């Protein structure tokens, strides 16, 4: 089973975490099921950027992004070439390492 290695995030997982994730599950679902409370203001419908993550290793093992996801990512804080919306990125065959950006653009929640 592939693993998701989450690099330390000051609020969501200060120590980092390693998660076993079945192939075919979205990164967002896997994170939430393992108590990493990543924001997902649109309830994983590909309508916001609050679940933005940066893939540090294993980017090519994920499914391809859609035009809608690419358009949304243009507005994400800290966008990088390997950025994905975790609600749209689906676990493949390989382990991946992700970084959750320190900030999100979320008008409904401003305590970060």
pLDDT confidence bin for 106, thresholds 50/70/90: low
- State the average pLDDT over residues 46-67: 96
Mean pLDDT of 49-61: 96
Q: Encoding tokens for residue 35?
A: 């108590």
Predicted pLDDT at 64: 96
Q: What is the pTM of this model?
A: 0.90
Torsion of CA 90, 92, 96, 98, to 10 degrees: -10
Q: Regarding the domain with residue range 3-99, which homologous superfamily does it belong to in the CATH classification?
A: Beta-grasp domain (3.10.20.30)
| Whole-number Cα distances in Å, 68 to 13, 31, 103 | 29, 22, 21
Tell me the pLDDT tens digit for each residue of 58-102.
999 999 999 999 999 998 989 999 999 999 999 999 999 999 998
> What local confidence, expressed as pLDDT, does residue 110 receive?
44
- Cβ count within 10 A of residue 7: 14
C-alpha 104/C-alpha 38 separation (Å) is 10
Q: Which residues pair with 9 in a beta bridge?
A: 13
pLDDT for position 105: 65
Terminal-residue alpha carbon distance, the chain:
33
């Amino acid at each position: 089973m592939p693993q998701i290695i989450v690099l330390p995030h000051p609020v969501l997982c200060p120590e980092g975490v390693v998660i076993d994730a079945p192939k075919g599950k979205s990164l967002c679902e896997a994170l939430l099921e393992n108590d990493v409370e990543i924001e997902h203001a649109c309830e994983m419908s590909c309508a916001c950027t609050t679940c933005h993550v940066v893939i540090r290793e294993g980017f090519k093992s994920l499914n391809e992004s859609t035009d809608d996801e690419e358009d949304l990512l243009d507005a994400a804080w800290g966008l990088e070439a390997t950025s994905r919306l975790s609600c749209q990125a689906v676990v493949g065959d390989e382990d991946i390492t992700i970084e959750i950006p320190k900030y999100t653009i979320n008008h409904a929640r401003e305590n970060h």
